[in-house]
Structure 1
Amino acid sequence: MRTAVRGANHPVVEAAARWGLAARGLIYLLVGVLALGISFGEGSEQADRGGVLQELAQQPLGEALVWAVGVGLAGMALWRLSEVLVGSAGPDGRKPTKRLMAGARFVLYSVISFSVLAFAAGEQDSGSSDKQSRGVTAMVLDLFAGQWLVGAAGLALTGAGGWIAVRAVMRKYRKHLMTGAMSARTRRIVDLLGVCGGASRGIVFAAAGVYAVRAAVQLDPDEAKGLDDTLRALADTSAGPLLLSVVAAGLGLFGIFSFAMARWRRV
C-alpha cells in the first residue's frame, strides 16, 4: 500500500498531470475564442481541436507549442494510467468505479495525444471532429445492431453532458482542489470559472449526444456532429448567435479553470 501511495504521488506523475491540465486548458480556451469568432460572423476556422492545432502552428514558435500540447496530453494519459494502477487522490480513490473511469480517460487521452503528436510530427490533417464523428457513426451504423449502438452512445453522451453540468453547478470539483492554499478572492474566482465553464462544457457534450441519437433514429451519419458543428448548430436555435456566444465564453472560462486545476488540483 505504501508503495502504491508513493507511486500515485510520484513527482513525475504530478508534473505530467499538471502539464496535461494546462494543455487541456489551452485547447478549451482557444476553442472558446474560435467559437466566439463564429458567433460574431468573423471566424472561418474549425472550433475544435483540429482548428486549435492549425491556429497554434501559425504562431511564432508554433511547432514547439503543438509539441508542448501533445506531450502535455500524453502526460494526462500517464496520470490517468497511474490512477488505474494505484488509485487516485482522495479516500475513495481506489474504488473499482474510480479506476474504471480513470481507465476510460486514459484511453481517451492516449488517442487524443497520439493525434496531436502525429500532427506535430508532420501529419498535415489535424483531424476535423465533424468528419471523424460522421465517419465513426457511418462505420458503426453498418454493424449488426449498429443503430442501437449509435443510439446508446448518443444517450450516454447526453447523460454524461448533463452529469458534467450538474456536478459543475454543485461545485463537486472543490473536493479535488487545495482550497486552503487559495485566498478567499481566488476561491470565488475559481468557483465562477468552474461553474460557468463546467456547465458550458456539459451543454456541448449533451448537445452532441442529442445529434448522435438523431443520427441513429434517422439512420443518417450526417446527422452526427463533432465539436465544431455542434457549436455552430447552437447559433441556429431560437436563441441565435447569442447562445453560441454564451457557450463559447463558457468554454473559454473552462480553459482558464483548467489552468487553475493545474495549479491547485490534488494529484
Structure 2
Amino acid sequence: MATMDVMRGPGMDRLSRGAKEAANHPWAKKLGRMGYAAKGCVYAIIGVLALKLAAGEGGRATDSHGAVATVAQGPFGIVLLSLLAVGLVGYVVWRFAQAFADTEDKGSDAKGIATRAMYFVSGVIYGSLALFAVKTVVGSSQGKGKGTQGWTATLMEQPFGRVLVVLVGLGIIGFAVKQFHTAWKAKFREKLTLTGLAATHQHRVERVCQFGIAARGVVFTVIGGFLVLAGVDANPGEAKGLGEALAVVARQPAGDVLLGVVAAGLVAYAAYLFLQARYREL
C-alpha cells in the first residue's frame, strides 16, 4: 500500500501531467500523423509486392524490413527512405506518448496497463525498424538482424524458453482476435472523424478499413500459430515472420487467390493507416 501511495503522490501526478502536456503539443501530434502515414507506406509496399507475386508479375513475400529495403533500391531511394525514417521515428514517439502519457485515456487498471504496454512494445518494434531505415540511409546497415527465427532461438535459450515462446505466440493470436473484433465492431470509428465525407463515402471507407484490419488479423494468426508450434516442438525454424507468413499462405491450395485476397487486405490496411494520419483524433 505504501508503494501505491508513493506512485500516486504529487511527484508522479506532476510527471503524468507533464507527459500529457508534451503529448498535446502540436508538434507531437504532427509526428503522430507522420507516423501513421509512414506505417501506411510500409504496409502498402508489403501488400503491393504480395499482390504482384499472387498475379505472377514478379513481386515477393516480404516484411517491414524488406519494404524499407525496397524503398532504398528505388528511384530517389535515399531521399524517400530518409522521409520514411523520419515518419517512423514520429510513429515511435507517438506510441510512447500513448504508453506513458495515456493519450488514449486507457487508465491505470489492469486492462489499461496491458493496452498501454502493447503501445510500448509497438514503439520498440517500430523503433528497431526506424533504426534499420536510418542505418540504410547512412550505408551502415548489416541486414535486418536476427529475424523471427533468430529471436525465437534466443528466447528458447532462456529458462522456460519454450513456454515463453508459446506464450508469445498465444499473445500474438490474442492480438489477432482483437483485430477481428475491431474489424467486426468497426471500433476504429471511435477515433476517426469522417464528418466531412458524404454518408455513402463513409460507409465505403468503413468497409475498406474493416477488410484491412481483418486481413492483418489473418496474417498475425499465422505468425502466432507458427510460434506456438515452434515452442511446442522446440524448433525455432518453425517460427515465421510477416514475409514468411505470406509465403505460407501462397503455398496453400488456391494459394494465388488466397495470397491475392490477403495482399489486397494489407493494401486496404495501409489505406486505413492513411485515414488515421488524416482524420484520427489525436
Question: TM-score, normalized by length of structure 2?
Answer: 0.86
Give the match's secondary structure for 1:180: coil
**Aligned AA (2:44):** L
The answer to whether structure 1 residue 225 and structure 2 residue 225 are counterparts is no
Query: In structure 2, what residue type is equivalent to 1:177?
Result: L
**Residue aligning to 1:88:** 103
Deviates more, 1:135-144 or 1:190-199: 135-144
**Which of 118, 141, 149 is residue 134 of structure 1 equivalent to?**
149
Match of 1:186 in 2: 201
How far 1:105 sits from its partner (Å)? 2.6
Correspondence for 1:245: 260
Letter in 1 for 2:138: A
Deviation per residue, 1:199-240 (Å, 9 max, x gap): 000110111000111111211111111111100101222342
More displaced stretch, 57-66 vs 208-217: 57-66
Query: Is residue 2:116 matched to residue 1:114?
Result: no
- Residues 47-83 of structure 1 show CA distances to partners (whole Å, capped at 9, x for unaligned) of 2122212221222221111111111111011112222
The reply to whether residue 100 of structure 1 matches residue 117 of structure 2 is yes
Residue 171 of structure 1: how far off its partner (Å): 0.5
Moved more, 244-253 or 115-124: 115-124
Q: Is the 8 A contact 2:51 2:59 kept in 1?
A: no
Shift of 1:188: 1.8
Contact kept? 2:19, 2:97, Cα under 8 Å: no
User: Residue type matched to 2:194 in 1?
Assistant: T
**1:195 equivalent in structure 2:** 210
Residues 86 and 94 in structure 1, CA contact (< 8 A), matched pair in contact too: no
- Maintained 8 Å contact 1:140/1:149: yes
Identify which of 168, 174, 186 aligns with 1:171.
186
Distance 1:49 1:3, change over 3 A: closer
**3-state SS of 2:251 partner:** coil
Aligned residue for 2:195, secondary structure, equals helix
Q: For residues 93 and 151 of structure 1, do their structure 2 counterparts lie closer, same or farther at Cα, with a shift above 3 Å needed? A: closer
Distance change in 2, residues 1:84/1:229 (3 Å): closer
Residues 53 and 61 in structure 2, CA contact (< 8 A), matched pair in contact too: no
- Match in the other structure for 1:34: 49
Per the alignment, in what secondary structure is the counterpart of residue 181 of structure 1?
Answer: coil
- Distance between the aligned counterparts of 1:41 and 1:174, measured in 2? 36
Distance in 2, matches of 1:124 and 1:107, equals 18
Kept in 2, the 8 Å contact 1:38–1:232? The answer is no
Where 2:240 maps in the other structure, the secondary structure is: coil
- The alignment's C-alpha RMSD in Å is 2.0
1:165·1:199 contact (CA, 8 Å) conserved in 2?
yes
Pick aligned residue for 2:174 from 152, 156, 159: 159
Q: CA deviation at 1:182?
A: 2.9
After superposing the two structures, state which structure 1 stretch, 183-192 or 19-28, moved more.
183-192
Distance between the aligned counterparts of 1:85 and 1:153, measured in 2?
Answer: 23
Gaps of 5+ in 1: none
Please list every run of at least 4 consecutive aligned residues from structure 1 whose deviation after the TM superposition is greater than 6 angstroms: none
Could you tell me whether the CA contact under 8 Å between 2:72 and 2:136 is conserved in 1? Answer: no
1:44, CA displacement in angstroms? Answer: 5.2
Give the match for residue 47 of structure 1.
62
Deviates more, 1:186-195 or 1:171-180: 186-195
- Counterpart-to-counterpart distance in 2, 1:71 and 1:241: 35
Q: Secondary structure at the match of 1:179?
A: coil
Aligned pair count reads 263
C-alpha change, 1:33 and 1:143, in structure 2 (3 Å) is same
Q: Is the Cα–Cα contact under 8 Å of residues 77 and 109 in structure 1 kept in the other structure?
A: yes
